[in-house]
Each structure stands twice: as structure tokens, then as C-alpha cells.
Amino acid sequence: MMATSYTPAVIGGGSMSDINGLDHMGRPSDAVFGEEIGESCGVFGVFGPDLDVARLTYFGLFALQHRGQESAGIAVSDGAGVTVYKDLGLVAQVFDEQRLAGLDGHLAIGHNRYSTTGSGSWENAQPSYRAIGDRTIALSHNGNLSNTSALAEQLGVLQETLSDSELMTEAIGRELDGTDWERALARVLPTFEGAFSLTIMDNDHLIGVRDPLGFRPLVLGRVDGGMVLSSETCGLDIIGADFIREIAPGEVIIIDEDGVRSIHPFTNVKQRTCVFEFVYFSRPDSTMSGQSIHAARRRMGERLAVEHPADVDVVVPVPESGIPAAQGFAAAARVPYVDGLVKNRYIGRTFISPTQQMRDQGVRMKLNPITQELEGKRVVLVDDSIVRGSTTRQLISMVKKAGANEVHLRISSPPYQWPCFYGMDTGRREELIASRMTVDEIADFLEVDSLGYLSLDGLLAATAIDPNRFCTACLSGDYPTAISVSR
Ligand code: AMP
């Protein structure tokens, strides 16, 4: 596998700008769906000389689609060069058979993006890439750096011109020039602060990195003689890979034709995994630190029923994020569990622009009530979280219009009061409803008959993991790193 000089062929996409809430292709942008909340991204990687690595990466990204729907991309190396293809849209919109057939090689990385830092433009789609001498590196990032200004200054570039992921690619590329991966990463990675689960590659190495606090997940698996990296275990399951283990916080895994090596370049390692991975982000069929996400969410619902009981006829989940907690609530409260809302699962970022009248219906684009299940009933509605409160308010009004006599809202996490700087772009503090209002005020605003949030202790206990291993900043204000941004 010789690395020869090669410029990455980047096919597809074009720059997109925001004009009156529509991008240049007339698709609705964030401005139209102003209530959209940024979320974590998905990263993936495969090393396997005898495998169809681009196809495996496609399916890995397909399983990780819930972590980001704004753009998708794959970088693949055949040893001689690296090819990157990325574009705005869902994985199945960006790639087809023909595109995948053009991505031939023995190692690949992939990325699903939901914008955090930077606008939702094509330029910010990942993998980001850079040519260094006779090789090209590509990088996929899940998380958010908290020291981008310092990093940009150190590199002598304007911060506004590069996303945090591009800054990392640039910094790694410069360090790698003339040396090997072990040495370069040991020097450059400790200069990054914040959240970064990365898959990186060059012509013949696949690398996995997890920041020393392990904010975002990253797992290692094995498939048909090849090695796999994935944000979540569901990305391994879909391609029939065996789970080996989680990448430890602060660990770097280097995979090449000589095998798999692990290095630990950080001095202060202390696990602080995002508790919201358990509440909302991760897919329920994934496992984390040996715990099933689905089972943990059920336990959250069971605890919620004990902490905030409700005298009702039916328990209704807000699909899909509220389903396991609603199941747990119903079982613990011995109240029938009913599907009272149906979610359209096929909404991506790039569907046809709705009319103004449809936009005013807001949440109906995503959720529709089953009137027969709600009419004349006292309902407890269970969801995982309230961030800004706008979707929830519309939803409550819809459930009432469908004929529910009483609506009691139960949330399987504590009030979300503090902005996240580690990969979840939930907006500024004043945009978070629980930072401005008490629980009673929120109940009034939402026009519910009662409102109950799960306690932080209840949430942590439901995960069945040592509570000291979590970042709970969004719920407690206890940030595990120094934050230079005003909040
Ligand atoms: P809202 O009432 O507008 O705050 O929206 C609440 C809904 O947002 C709940 O159904 C949550 O499951 C969902 N949610 C929570 N966190 C996020 C996130 N980071 N991105 C997108 N949706 C989220």
C-alpha cells in the first residue's frame, strides 16, 4: 500500500447560502425551521483490505442517521489516494449505487452532520480533508471544541474562515508533516479542548480518537477480518460487526496493515460522558458502558412515575424519543400505554419547501394525533426533554384539540437550563425555557394540567452507571471544562 501524491477528488455539492429562509436550491433552511435544535454528529470508519469499505461506511452512517441529518460524507483510500464525497442531505439522498461504486479502497471514514459551529453549508460538511506531501488526511468529528480562538491564533488563521473540525484537520496536518502519526498526535491532540470523538485517516491508516473527558461515544468493532470504529454500537450491528470495546476517554487507536495500536497522549483523563446520550441522542438499540440505552430510558420512566404520579386513563409517548420512558411509566403506574401520536419518520433536512400555511401548522409536519385514542381521556404525555418549549407547546395544543380531557406532561430528565458547549447546539441560555421560568411557569406556558420532571439523581440512578462519569452541565450548570464563551 504505497502512498503517492494525489489531490482528493471532491465530487458534488456547491456552496449554499441563506436567502429568505431558503437555501439556493429553494430548500427550507434553519431559518424556516427556526425551532430546530442542533445535535451531535455521527462518525464511522472501516479498515479492511478485502472489504467493500465505502458500502460498509454507507450502512454505518445509515444506522447513525439519527445523530445528524444535515449532511453526509465518506472519504475512502485505495492506498494511492484519498477520495472524498460529501453533500447536504440524508445518507440515502447523498449516496447511490453509482457513487458508492466510484469509492473504491481498503479504508474509509464517514460522517453525518447536524450543524453545531458554523452554518449548515456544504463547506462545513465532513469529512474535512487536507493534502500533506504525498498523502491526504481526512477527518470526521463528533463534538465541539471550546478553544477555537486560541487554536486559530496558534495556527495563524482567521477563526471565522474555518470550522472547529477544519481547524483540527489543519493542526493535525501541520504536525504530521515529516513525522509519524504517533508523534504527531501525541503533540497536537493535547492542544484541543472540548468534545472530540474523531475518525481520521490517511492513505493507509485509520485512527480513532476520544477526548480525555470522553464526552461523546466511540466504539471499536471487528468485521470479516477488518476493524470498525463507530459512534454507537448500532453502527456495528447493521454491518454484522462484533463489538470489541469502547475507545477509552483519552485513548487513540491506530489501525494499519501492521494491526491495531493504542496510545494515550493526554495527561488529565477523567470520564465525563454526556448524560444526554442516555436521555435523547443515542439510539435505543445501542449500548453504552455496558448498559442498554432502551432499558435505561425505561427505568427513567419508572422512576418518573414514582416521583410524579398522575391520576390518568392512558400513558401516551411523544414518539420516538419518549417511547421507552412512557413504557416504563405505564408499567410502574399500571396505566394502559397507548399510541396517541404518530410520527412521520421520513422528514430529512432536504424535503420540498412547505407552504406558509403548512409551516404555521408547525409540529403537524412531524406528529399527528390518533383522535380515537385521546378523545375524552385523561392523558399523561411522556417525553424525554423540553429545550425551548415551542414544539411541546404546539403538541399539547394538538392533543387537547384531539379531545383529551386533561393533559399531564412528564419529562424523563431534569429541566434543561444551561447551554451545551460540547456538541449539542441547543442555543443560548435565554433560549432555554427552564432557564427563564420555574416549573410552574412552564406548566402555565404549555397550558398543561400538571408538569413533572425527573430529578437529576433519578436520571443518574436510571443509567446504572457511576454518576461521576457523566457530564451533566446542561442540567446542573456544572461544566467539566473552563468555558470562555459568555453564557
Ligand atoms: P421543544 O418543546 O421545542 O423544546 O422541543 C422538545 C423536543 O425536542 C423533545 O421532543 C425532545 O425529544 C427534542 N429534543 C431534545 N434535544 C434535542 C436536540 N438536541 N435536537 C433536536 N431535538 C431535541
For 282, the grid coordinates are 443515542
The pLDDT value recorded for residue 354 is 64
Report the nearest-CA residue for atom 22 of ligand 1: 37
DSSP string, 154-205: HHT--GGGS-HHHHHHHHHHHHHTTS-HHHHHHHHGGG--EEEEEEEE-SS-
In whole angstroms, what is the distance from residue 212 CA to residue 422 CA?
Answer: 13
Dihedral angle sign, alpha carbons of residues 311, 315, 316, 321: positive
- For the chain, the structural domain boundaries read 2-270, 292-467
Which residues face 130 on adjacent strands? 137
Residue pair 194/147 in contact (Cβ under 8 Å)? The answer is: yes
Enter the C-alpha cell of residue 286.
445501542
Half-sphere exposure (Cβ direction) of 342: Cα atoms closer than 13 Å: 8
pLDDT at 337 over 90: yes
Segment 235-263 shows an average pLDDT of 98
Give the model's pLDDT for residue 447.
98
Report the distance separating Cα 308 and Cα 180, nearest Å: 56
- Judge whether 41 counts as a catalytic residue: yes
Which grid cell is 358? 403548512
**Candidates 41, 274, 471, 474; catalytic one:** 41
- Cell output for 140: 470526521
Average pLDDT over residues 310-339: 97
Better-scored residue on pLDDT, 357 or 37: 357
Q: How many angstroms separate the alpha carbon of residue 431 from the centre of ligand 1? A: 13
Q: What is the pLDDT at residue 400?
A: 97
Expressed in angstroms and rounded, the spacing between residue 169 Cα and the centre of ligand 1 is 31
Q: Are 344 and 64 in contact (CB under 8 A)?
A: no
Q: For residue 29, count other CB atoms closer than 10 A to its CB.
A: 22
Confidence check: pLDDT of 14 > 90: no
- Mutation pick for ligand 1 pocket among 37, 65, 112 (CB with most ligand atoms within 8 Å): 37
DSSP string, 218-284: -EEEEETTEEEEESSTHHHHTTTPEEEEEPPTT-EEEEETTEEEEE---S-----EETHIIIIIS-T
Does the pLDDT of residue 390 top 60, yes or no?
A: yes
* Position in ligand 1 atom list of the atom nearest CA 390: 3
Whole-angstrom Cα distance, residue 109 to residue 75? 5
How many percent of the chain have pLDDT more than 70? Answer: 87
For 460, the 3-state DSSP assignment is: helix
User: Quick one: pLDDT at residue 8?
Assistant: 46
Residue 297: is its pLDDT beyond 60? yes
Q: Which residue has the cell 434543561?
A: 416
Task: Name which residue sits closest to atom 2 of ligand 1, judged by CA.
Answer: 389
Q: Which residue has the cell 470522553?
A: 214
The bridge status of strand 252-256 relative to strand 259-263 is: antiparallel
| Sign of the alpha-carbon dihedral angle for 162, 160, 387, 456 | positive
Confidence of residue 11 (pLDDT cuts 50, 70, 90): very low
More confidently predicted of 349 and 290: 290
CB-based contacts of 147: which residues, under 8 Å, 6+ apart?
192, 193, 194, 484
Question: What is the Cα–Cα distance from 253 to 250, expressed in whole angstroms?
Answer: 10
Q: What is the pLDDT of residues 154-194, one digit of tens each?
A: 999 987 788 899 999 999 999 998 899 999 999 999 999 99
CATH number attached to the domain at 292-467: 3.40.50.2020
347 CA to centre of ligand 1 in angstroms: 15
CA-CA distance, 276 to 467, in Å (whole number)?
A: 13
Q: Which cell goes with 99?
A: 457513487
pLDDT range class, residue 119, cuts 50, 70, 90: low
Mention every residue, 6+ apart, whose C-beta is less than 8 A from residue 44: 57, 60, 61, 64, 109, 110, 111, 140, 199, 228, 229, 230, 231, 235
SS3 304: helix
Checking if the pLDDT of 360 tops 80, the result is: no
Q: What phi and psi values does residue 307 have, to the nearest 5 degrees?
A: -70, -35
Query: Looking at residue 3, what is its pLDDT?
Result: 31
111 neighbors 197 (Cβ within 8 angstroms): no
> Residue 367 in contact with residue 398, Cβ under 8 Å?
yes
Where do the DSSP E strands lie in 54-106?
A: 71-77, 82-88
Distances (CA, A) of 474 to 34, 383, 419, 432, 480: 21, 17, 6, 10, 11
Task: State the pTM of this model.
Answer: 0.91
- The CA distance from 421 to 35, in Å, is 19
Place of cell 425551532: 35
Q: Confidence band (pLDDT; 50, 70, 90) for 101?
A: very high
Cβ burial of 34 (10 Å; 0-12, 13-18, 19+) is exposed
How does pLDDT run across 409-418, given as a tens digit for each residue?
999 999 999 9
DSSP string computed for 431-464: GSHHHHS-HHHHHHHHT-SEEEE--HHHHHHHHT
Residue with cell string 444526554: 276
**Can you tell me the distance from the alpha carbon of 308 to that of 455, in angstroms, rounded to the nearest whole number?**
10
| Residue 334 burial (CB count, 10 A) | 8
Helices 390-401 and 439-446, packing angle to 10 deg: 50
pLDDT in tens, 19-66: 223 232 222 333 223 344 545 799 999 999 999 999 999 999 999 999
Question: What's the pLDDT score for residue 22?
Answer: 29
Q: Quick check: 302 pLDDT over 80?
A: yes
pLDDT score of 366:
86
Do the two domains 2-270 and 292-467 of this chain adopt the same fold? no
| For range 99-107, the mean pLDDT | 96
Instruction: Name the residue at shortest CA distance from atom 7 of ligand 1.
Output: 386
Report the percent of the chain where pLDDT is more than 90. Answer: 77
Q: Ligand 1 atom closest to Cα of 383?
A: 10
Which residues does a 6 A CB cutoff place in the pocket of ligand 1?
35, 37, 39, 280, 318, 321, 383-392, 424, 426
Q: Looking at 268-376, which runs of residues are DSSP E strands?
A: 273-274, 287-288, 291-292, 314-317, 341-343, 367-369
The pLDDT, as a whole number, for residue 115 is 60
Residue at 333: amino acid letter: A
The letter for the amino acid at 80 is A
What is the C-alpha separation between 220 and 133, in angstroms, rounded? Answer: 30
pLDDT digits (tens, 9 = 90+) for 63-100: 999 999 889 999 999 999 999 999 998 999 999 999 99
CATH homologous superfamily of domain 2-270? Aminohydrolase, N-terminal nucleophile (Ntn) domain (3.60.20.10)
Q: Residue 114's pLDDT is what?
A: 82
Work out the pLDDT band at 228, boundaries 50, 70, 90.
very high
